[in-house]
Amino acid sequence: MFVMAHTGKRGAAEIILKDMQEWQDELNDAALVTPNTQQDQLPFQVHLVSAEDLTEWMQKGSHLNIDLEDVELDSYGQKSTPYLAFYGQVSGDQILEWWTSHGTRLFSKNIRNILGQTDVNDSIKLTSLNSPEMFWYYNNGITLLVSDIHPHRRNANRSTERGSFKFINASVINGAQTVSTIGQLFSNASPEDLTKLSQLRVPARFIKVPDIDNADVAVAITKANNHQNRVLGRDFASQHPEQLRLAKEMAVESYQYQLLRTAEQKKSTDAKVIDLDEALDGLSCLNGSASTITTLKSQRGRFFDNLDGSLYKSLFNPSVSGIKVINAVIHLRAIEKLINEKLLLTDKNNQRKRHLIITHANRVISSLLLDNVSRISKATELVDVNEGALSEKLDDLVVKMERYIEEHHVNAYPARFFANVEKVSEIMKHLAD
C-alpha cells in the first residue's frame, strides 16, 4: 500500500487523482493482476490522505463506533418523520450488557459524563433493587442517537409486543445516569439481584440522525433532552462546534481535550489531558481584559450562559487554535503552582495583607505573567515554560501590588478589590506600565 499524504483538505485536483490511478494500474499490471479484481483485493493500492483525515483519525482515538446488536424492544412503536425513530421498553439485563461491553464510551455524544452521587441516581438504585416492576413508571427513560437502524426481518412476522433491532453508531444522549447506575449496581450482582434486573423495564427511544448530514439537529436533540439532573451551560458547550474543532486540533499535538463534566470534575494527573474548565481559565487570563478576569473570578458560569453571545465568543472562536489553548493551559498550570508555593512561604499571620493579595489576585497575576513573560498570545507552536522567569516576575508583581494598594487603597479588602472591574483595570494598567 502506498499512501500519499498532503496538508490540505480531503480530495485533490482531478489531474492528481488521474495520475495516482494510472500509477496504481501500472503497478498492478506489472504484477499480472487479473482484470476486474476488486479494489480492496489489489496487491498494490495507492491512497490519498489529507491532514483533515489524519486530524479526524487522531481525534477519534479510542472513540470507536458502538453498534448495538440484537436489541430487544418490548411494546415498541415507530415514528417516521421528520426523523426515523423506534421507541419501546428495554430490559435491564440488556443495559447491563451495554455497560459491560462499552462503559462510558456509550456517552460520547452526551453533554456530560457520569455525575456520581445525585438524588436522581439514588432513586434509580432504590427502585432497581426494591421495586423493579415500577421502574418504567418512575424513570424518564433513555434516548439514543444512532446513524442507522436495521430491524430484524423476523419482526414482520411478529406483533409489536417485541421486536429485534441492530442500532448503528449508538450514543446515549439522555439517561447516562440511568445506564451507568444500572451498570455499576449490577456489575457483580448476585443471582437474586440479576433476576430483579431482568424484570426491570426502561423506556427507550432510538432516533436516527446521521452525524454528517444533521450535526445541528443532533446537538439540538441532545440539548433538549437533558433536564433530569441539573444541567450547566458548560455541559451544553461540550458539544459546541468550536469545542469539537479544538479537540481535533489538540489531538494532533497528542493532547486529549476532556469536554464532558464528570463526578466532582477532578483534574486528571495526566499532563496531556486538558479539560474545558482549564481551557476557560487559560484563555480568560490570556485575554487580559479586566472584565473577563473579574467575570472568571466571581461569575464563571456566565461564559456558558449563551454560546452565541459575545462573552463566550470572546474566548472560543475560529481564531483560537488548539495550540493556543494548550499553551495557555500549560503555562497557567506552571503559574498556579508558583502562586501556591508563594502562598505557602507567606506567613498568614505576620504577612496577612500580602497573603490575601496573593490569594485573591491570582487571576490578575496569571494574566500579567502570561502576557509579560510567557508571550504566547500569537504563538503558532508549543512554547516551553520558563519557570525561572515566571517566578522572578511573580515576586516583583506581588511587591508592586502590595505597595500600590497600600498607597492608593489602604482600606480596601483584597477579596472585594479584585472582584471590582474598575479596580482590577486600574491596577493592571499600573503594573503593565
- Binned at pLDDT 50, 70 and 90, residue 43 comes out as confident
pLDDT at 116: 47
DSSP reduced 3-state for 146: strand
- For the segment 85-143, what is each residue's pLDDT rounded down to a tens digit? 999 999 999 999 999 998 888 887 654 444 444 555 677 888 888 889 999 998 888 99
Could you tell me which residue, 213 or 174, shows the higher pLDDT? 174
pLDDT at 284: 96
- Binned at pLDDT 50, 70 and 90, residue 267 comes out as low
Does pLDDT of 212 surpass 70?
no
Q: How far apart are CA 294 and CA 124, in angstroms?
A: 40
- Binned at pLDDT 50, 70 and 90, residue 23 comes out as confident
Q: Within 10 Å of residue 46's Cβ, how many Cβ atoms?
A: 19
- The three cell numbers of residue 69 are 446488536
Measure Cα distances from 18 to 10, 73, 111, 151 in Å: 16, 49, 44, 41
Could you tell me which residue, 282 or 433, shows the higher pLDDT? 282
- For the segment 400-431, what is each residue's pLDDT rounded down to a tens digit? 999 999 999 999 999 999 999 999 999 999 99
Does pLDDT of 220 surpass 70?
no
pLDDT at 222: 61
pLDDT at 386: 95
Does pLDDT of 37 surpass 80?
no
- Is residue 255 within 8 Å of residue 271, measured between CB atoms? no
Which residue type occupies 404? Y
Quickly tell me which residue has 474566548 as its cell. 315
Q: What is the mean pLDDT of the chain?
A: 84
Q: Within 10 Å of residue 228's Cβ, how many Cβ atoms?
A: 16
Q: Name the phi and psi angles at 253, rounded to 5.
A: -90, 15
pLDDT at 229: 43
- For the segment 56-92, what is each residue's pLDDT rounded down to a tens digit? 566 555 456 889 999 999 999 999 988 899 999 999 9
- DSSP letters, 337-398, are HHHHHHHHHS-TTTTHHHHHHHHHTHHHHHHHHIIIII--TT-SS-----HHHHHHHHHHHH
pLDDT (mean) for 177-197: 88
Residues 6 or more apart whose Cβ sits within 8 Å of residue 395: 342
Q: How far apart are CA 219 and CA 147, in angstroms?
A: 14
- The three cell numbers of residue 211 are 452525524
Question: ω before 191 within 30° of 0 (cis)?
Answer: no
- DSSP letters, 50-80, are EHHHHHHHHHHTT-----EEEEEEEEEEEE-
pLDDT at 227: 44
pLDDT at 425: 96
pLDDT (mean) for 288-301: 92
Q: How far apart are CA 375 and CA 135, in angstroms?
A: 57
- For the segment 140-171, what is each residue's pLDDT rounded down to a tens digit? 889 999 999 999 988 877 788 899 999 999 98
- For the segment 1-19, what is each residue's pLDDT rounded down to a tens digit? 677 777 766 667 778 778 8
Does pLDDT of 231 surpass 90?
no
Does pLDDT of 261 surpass 90?
no
Strand order in the sheet with 171-174: 148-151, 162-168, 68-79, 85-91, 201-208, 142-146, 171-174
Q: How far apart are CA 359 and CA 343, in angstroms?
A: 7
Does pLDDT of 398 surpass 70?
yes
- Binned at pLDDT 50, 70 and 90, residue 45 comes out as confident
